[in-house]
């Protein structure tokens, strides 16, 4: 009798163990691949970002107040412009943030939300910026969000491995990058712009592997206008 019970229990144990392993693999894959279904690229040139027509991914990032910010493309009240940047330690990112002040008020007046995704941890989102960029961010109340775990960048397909040389150089310069996506996970986001309509569909996407090349204010304004026109039609 005990032998029969043992034989009956064994398949159940095997099935349970298999189910746990499958769930574990699914969870691991969802973190590694995100909605873009690609691994973290070895270099910026090898990223495979989401493109126009793709569904935007769902992700959780952290606000400047240290609170969770849930981005759910299935329940957007307004169209969204997602703009990623490497971090406050990057001078090109600072210049870009400052330059966009010329168009952000107009974009907001059109009824489009603008969200900035940074690889910095939440307490450094404003603190690490240059004085000029910080003044602009404070004046126009930019929505800066921390993607220090790199999950949003991975889901958007713009994550790549940061070089050990870059990490070492920033540490030598005294940059506070501890617990950033770069220092903690060895991952950086390629600066990118995604326009997302109220249905959660990406209508425009741009990601340049050359971090020195950024969209001008007009380049950001144009897809924002298209968002409004397409949502009105």
pLDDT digits (tens, 9 = 90+) for 2-53: 444 444 555 444 444 444 333 343 333 333 334 445 578 999 999 999 999 9
The segments of the chain whose pLDDT lies below 70 read 1-38, 174-179, 181-184, 232-233
**Encoding tokens for residue 88?**
């406050």
Are the C-beta atoms of residues 87 and 93 closer than 8 Å to each other?
Answer: yes
pLDDT the model gives residue 15: 46
Report angle CA 186, 163, 156 to the nearest 5 degrees.
55
How many CB atoms within 10 Å of residue 206? 19
Task: State the chain's mean pLDDT as an integer.
Answer: 82
């Amino acid at each position: 009798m005990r032998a029969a019970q043992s034989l009956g229990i064994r398949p159940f144990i095997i099935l349970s163990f298999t189910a746990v392993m499958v769930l574990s693999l699914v969870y691991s894959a969802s973190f590694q691949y995100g909605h873009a279904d690609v691994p973290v690229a070895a270099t910026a040139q090898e990223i495979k970002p989401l493109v126009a027509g793709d569904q935007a991914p769902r992700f959780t990032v952290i606000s400047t107040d240290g609170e969770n910010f849930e981005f759910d493309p299935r329940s957007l009240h307004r169209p969204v412009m997602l703009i990623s940047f490497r971090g406050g330690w990057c001078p090109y990112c600072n210049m870009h943030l400052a330059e966009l002040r010329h168009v952000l008020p107009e974009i907001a007046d059109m009824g489009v939300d603008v969200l900035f995704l940074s690889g910095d941890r939440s307490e450094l989102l404003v603190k690490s910026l240059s004085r000029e960029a910080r003044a602009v961010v404070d004046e126009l109340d930019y929505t800066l969000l921390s993607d220090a775990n790199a999950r949003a960048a991975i889901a958007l397909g713009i994550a790549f491995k940061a070089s050990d040389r870059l990490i070492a150089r920033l540490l030598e310069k005294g940059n506070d990058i501890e617990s950033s996506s770069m220092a903690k996970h060895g991952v950086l986001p390629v600066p990118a712009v995604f326009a997302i309509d109220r249905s959660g569909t990406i209508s425009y996407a741009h990601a340049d592997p050359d971090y020195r090349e950024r969209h001008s204010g007009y380049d950001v304004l144009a897809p924002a206008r298209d968002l409004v026109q397409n949502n009105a039609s």
